[in-house]
Structure 1
Amino acid sequence: MSAFVDLYPHSDFPFIVPPLRDCLTIRAPCSLGLAPRNTTAYWHEVSDYFCFLALPVIMSLALVMEMLSVVVLIRQVRQSLDTYLMGLSLAAILLLACTTLLVLQHYIGPEPHLVHTQPYSVSCRDWFWYSAIWLLIMMSFERVLTVSATRATTLCSANQAAVVVVMVFAVGLVSALPRFWEYQATSLFNPATNRTSLIAQKTASTATREYNIMYFWYVKSVTLFVPLIMMISMCVMLGCRSRRSALTKRYMAVKHSNGAALSRKIKEESALSTLLILLMSLYMVCSAPAGLLELAAHLAPQWMDPASRTFASLYNILAVLFFFQFDMHFIIYFCFNKQFRITLLTLFCCCC
């Protein structure tokens, strides 16, 4: 098993994506307080090594897919949903870019220029994370209102949706503002090595117990409790309102050339609702476990010690699962958005 330790650099700091604790850097001062490695629990090493290899592949693929989605959506923006999806893809790209700056230290080492970017990277990561969540909620809410209307009308234009996207990014920035003052790059002397190390650690004003507890519950409310309740409710409502009988009733007042045109329109509307149901379900499946793990470690540390290697290994696995959801966005867009599919095929035909 020593091969795994050698292949996994800085294994004394077992978190692939640094959690928001007292320190973000993988240097020795930041690893103090973690439980010693359990040499008999080999699954820790195996799972950490798997995450070490899988995370860059998953994030790279997600980045490429989201960028391709933006290119396609720019060429086809015609409906409000397309504008929302483009905003979601942009938020995902920026989220992946910020996270890359945080995890890059595991692959090239804690270079000083990376340490200086970490306080800003973690702040912007939260900003774009909040924006992605609430963009998904806003587009789903607009879709619920659309399918709940008694007549087949458009409630939001593409330009109005663009304004909403900008507002969501602005609210996300305000929500993440405390993070911009939470960490700073500091030089610390390590008596164990008799060397001075540059690390990104919490400022004195944000290292208090009261601040950490308050902001912990705030983050969990914004990313876990409220989104899960709203997404579950909207999934149920979309599922009920997007049935063929309900959609047929909505389109009865609209004159179509024939029954085939009506059937095609109903099928497209049902597919768009399915797209949003899948996006919300994917977020809940990929994001909720990590949030629940941190919640369990906060409420019951005797059951799940946040300083243990078991928590770190589970945290790494769930971090990989979290970023896996962005790999699936492009597939969902392609399968359940007819206009996206047509635009993509046209784009490739033009390139050929």
Structure 2
Amino acid sequence: MSSYVDLYPHSDFPFIVPPLRDCLTIQAPCSMSLAPRNTTAYWHEVSDYFCFLALPVIMSLAVVMEIMSVMVLARQVRQSLDTYLMGLSLAAILLLTCTTLLALQHYMGPDPYLVHTQPYTASCRDWFWYSAIWLLVMMSFERVLTVSASRATTLCSANQAAVVVVMVFAVGLVSALPRFWEYQAAWLHDPATNRTALIAKKTASTATEEYNIMYFWYVKSVTLFVPFLMMISMSVTMGCRSRRSVLTKRYVAVKHSNGVALSRKIKEESALSTLLIMLMSLYMLCSAPAGVLDLVAHVVPNWLDPTSRTFASLYNIFTVVFFFQFDMHFIIYFCFNKQFRITLLTFFCCCC
């Protein structure tokens, strides 16, 4: 006989971070009509347990890294890019916090307080997810305009960038507003066990097929189709416009003390463009698997049944991959932002 390792004892809910479907709780009424476990597909059990152990490590490290990034960027806010990056780090911290509250039920059990917070944390997770995506798009777009200008000019100040960051968070909130009325905590009776459990389930007004289809394609447009298309085009543009020969022409009219100063400035400008290209490439690389998985399961369920254990295991793996990107932000900032490195070293010197 083979023994199974559940994510949480006495739980048959295999999603570490619950997808936004009929309900969000690991209690029995929220089984979501999943197919029975395949007794021969042992990789489901192994991969789920690996994700169960890896997710808190990755998310804890990501929170620490993003907090350090905010502390460093707050001390050096001089350019618009620094303001954008600080906004991105704040959005990442809030996104990680909301996801932690959703996943905590697998590590603590179905606590009633967690169930009551799930409808709001699911909504806020979408809010900060949209904000993080479009902050990355906006800062990259501003960088494209900067490197495409005929002369070396600053198009956006740090204060103006702060206004844009606030506006992006506001637009993200508006985009996620339907989620705030989508789920509610309610008591449901489970006929199988003859017990009543508190679960976070969809409201009657949002459980309709029309609403789910419409909001599904809206979310895919906001998080997959439009940002990916813009990120690819902006990455190509920045790569072409950040070459040394092109940057040299832009700085011809700028008076530098000597050729060394000009070379240093061009190198810094090229590094900032590389930073944004790396951030966009990392986001697309880490989020595309989960987005494509959900898209295939929705459009072609014959290929991948969304109620199958294979879908659940792949969903968990791609969830871990998605959050891994936030562990890399600090490293990218350090490698491609000279002022970030200087401020970080100064910060640690002051602490010592």
Q: Name the TM-score class by shorter chain.
A: over 0.9
For residues 128 and 10 of structure 1, what CA distance do their matches in structure 2 show?
Answer: 32
User: What corresponds to 1:143 in structure 2?
Assistant: 143
**1:42-88 Cα deviation digits (max 9, x unpaired):** 00000000000000000000000000000000000000000000000
2:50 is the counterpart of 1:50: yes
- Counterpart CA distance in 2 for 1:64 and 1:117 is 24
2:33 alignment counterpart: 33
Alignment of 1:193-342 (within 5 A): 193-342=193-342
In structure 2, the partner of 1:103 is 103
Instruction: Verify the 8 A CA contact 1:184 1:202 in the aligned structure 2.
Output: yes
Deviation string, structure 1 residues 107-145 (Cα, Å, up to 9, x no partner): 000100000000000000000000000000000000000
- Give the Cα separation in 2 of the matches to 1:233 and 1:10: 48
1: distance between equivalents of 2:304 and 2:144? Answer: 39
How much has 1:5 moved relative to structure 2?
1.1
User: Is 1:10–1:106's contact at 8 Å kept on the other side of the alignment?
Assistant: no
Where has structure 1 moved over 4 Å in runs of 4 or more?
Answer: 1-4
Question: What TM-score, normalized by structure 1, do the two folds share?
Answer: 0.99
Residues 347 and 4 of structure 1, relative CA distance in 2, 3 Å threshold? farther
What is the rounded CA distance, in whole Å, between the counterparts of 2:160 and 2:48 in structure 1? 45
Query: TM-score normalised to the size of structure 2?
Result: 0.99
1:128-167 matches, cutoff 5 A: 128-167=128-167
User: Is contact 2:23–2:32 with CA below 8 Å preserved after alignment?
Assistant: no
Query: Does the aligned pair in 1 maintain the 2:144–2:238 contact within 8 Å?
Result: yes
Q: Tell me, yes or no, if the aligned pair for 1:9 and 1:107 is still in contact at 8 Å.
A: no
Note if contact 2:35-2:309 (Cα within 8 Å) is conserved in structure 1. yes
SS at match of 1:200: strand
CA distance in 2, matches of 1:28, 1:120: 21
CA contact 1:146–1:155 (8 Å) conserved in 2:
yes
SS of alignment partner, residue 201 of structure 2: strand
Q: What is the distance in 1 between the residues matched to 2:166 and 2:66?
A: 19
Report the Cα offset of residue 4 of structure 1.
5.2
Cα root mean square deviation, aligned: 1.0
Residue 77 of structure 1 aligns with which residue? 77
CA gap of 1:29–1:141, structure 2 versus 1, over 3 A, is same
User: What is the SS of the residue equivalent to 1:171?
Assistant: helix
Structure 1's 281 and 181: CA in aligned 2 closer, same or farther, altered over 3 A?
A: same
1:241/1:10 Cα in 2 relative to 1: closer, same or farther (>3 Å)?
farther
In the superposition, relative to structure 1, how do residues 211 and 103 fare at CA in structure 2: closer, same or farther (>3 Å)? same
- 1:64 and 2:64 are equivalent in the alignment: yes
- 1:9 CA drift (Å): 3.3
CA distance in 1, matches of 2:171, 2:4: 43
Structure 2: how far apart are the matches of 1:306 and 1:192?
Answer: 23
Please give the secondary structure, in 1, of the residue aligned with 2:252: helix
Q: Supply the distance in 2 between the matched residues of 1:149 and 1:318 (Cα, whole angstroms).
A: 39
Give the counterpart letter for 1:98 in structure 2: C
Match of 1:114 in 2: 114
Separation in 1, partners of 2:292, 2:84:
28
The whole-number CA distance in structure 2 between the counterparts of 1:136 and 1:199 is 35
* Residues 133, 223 of structure 1: 8 Å contact kept: yes
- Whether the 8 Å contact between 2:130 and 2:223 is mirrored in structure 1 is yes
Match of 1:192 in 2: 192
1:193 CA displacement: 1.0
